[in-house]
Homo-oligomer: A and B are copies of this chain.
Amino acid sequence: MSDFKISGVVPPVVVPDTPDYKLDVPSFERLINRLIDAGVDGLFFLGSSGEVAFSSDARRDHVLTEAVRIVDHRVPVLAGIIDTETERMVEQGKRALKIGVDALVATAPFYALGTLQDVENHFRILHKELDAPIFAYDIPVCVHVKLPWKMLAKLGQEGVLAGVKDSSGDDIGFRYLCEANAKMGHPMSVLSGHEMVVDCAYLSGADGSVPGLANVEPYGYVRMWKAAQAGDWESARKEQERINEISHIFDVTKGVAGYGAGVGSFKTALALMGIFSSNTMLPPVKPLEGENVEAIKKVLVDNGLLES
């Protein structure tokens, strides 16, 4: 069983870029410090919303090096090692561990079609080769494989997995996983990435959350976690409802979709709030502009995150 435990709010950190596509270190520092000051319990770098797919290896190393430096052991650092298959992920993991991260987050292999047996072998190899806490990242929208809760529970019980970061959209599978984890004596840290129903994830037994929207509004997520811990579900729900109003930054835009709309809205909000210096996106994605920026601004103003 893994020694690494984490609970509470673990935002997947959005990465700021300069207009010429370099890591914008001062903005990164502002964001990280704001999150830690708000009371988050850990930080997850190089996740799906952390530009991992768009970043060269050199850039990934740069992001993690700065992250480790800025965080400076104030909270645990988790790092995504997203790549197409096992051997490539092992290499990503070795580099990340050398830089000093505390735990690794790995998806199922993708691109080449595999079987669930391949996926299970994959996590076993990662565990064996990397000798570090491994979180399974269940994100079928990106890798087109759903990790079955029974497989995850088995790998947790055997100590192969330290935890699960669930972005699967399968709230039933998530519930079964939480219940199985509890029955096994809680070998894994089970985290939900579904930022609009985090209160439900907690009611389902989650150990914590990985909410992208916490980049914009970390305080509410921290309060929600505390309320849930105290069994005050009405307060948790109200906090979630308040946050969900802010979450409409996702759907007030027009003519955009995918990563450019999702992470694009985070970057735009952070730029509007003065935390990021710009809302630059890495190619081939274009940043939000014009009326879409105004629409996001209005949501922020309406919800008290920005003065009009």
Residues on A facing B (Cβ under 8 Å): 21, 48, 53-57, 59, 82-88, 91, 109-115, 117-119, 121-122, 125, 141-144, 150, 169-172, 175-176, 179, 194, 196-197, 199-200, 203-204, 231, 233-234, 237, 241, 244, 251, 256-260, 262, 282-286
Of chain B, the residue at the smallest CB distance from A142 is B111
| Choice from B56, B109, B194, B258 contacting A114 with Cβ under 8 Å | B258
A172-B197, A244-B179 as given contacts; A285 in contact with B53, CB under 8 Å? no
Question: Could you tell me if B179 and A114 are in contact, using CB atoms closer than 8 angstroms?
Answer: no
Residues of B within 8 A of A200 (CB): 171, 175, 197, 200, 203-204
A84-B54, A200-B203 as given contacts; A114 in contact with B283, CB under 8 Å? no
| Choice from B122, B143, B170, B244 contacting A175 with Cβ under 8 Å | B244
| Choice from B48, B121, B199, B251 contacting A112 with Cβ under 8 Å | B48
Residues of B within 8 A of A55 (CB): 87-88
Question: Could you tell me if A113 and B91 are in contact, using CB atoms closer than 8 angstroms?
Answer: no
Residues of B within 8 A of A196 (CB): 172, 175-176
Of chain B, the residue at the smallest CB distance from A126 is B284
Q: How far is the CB of A31 from chain B (nearest CB, A)?
A: 20
Of chain B, the residue at the smallest CB distance from A92 is B56
Question: Could you tell me if A111 and B172 are in contact, using CB atoms closer than 8 angstroms?
Answer: no
- Could you say how many copies of this chain the assembly holds? 4
Residues of B within 8 A of A125 (CB): 283-284
A165 to B55, CA, bound (A): 26
| Choice from B142, B170, B233 contacting A169 with Cβ under 8 Å | B170
A110 to B143, CA, bound (A): 9
Question: Could you tell me if A86 and B142 are in contact, using CB atoms closer than 8 angstroms?
Answer: no
Question: Could you tell me if A179 and B241 are in contact, using CB atoms closer than 8 angstroms?
Answer: yes
Question: Could you tell me if B176 and A244 are in contact, using CB atoms closer than 8 angstroms?
Answer: yes
Q: How far is the CB of A14 from chain B (nearest CB, A)?
A: 13
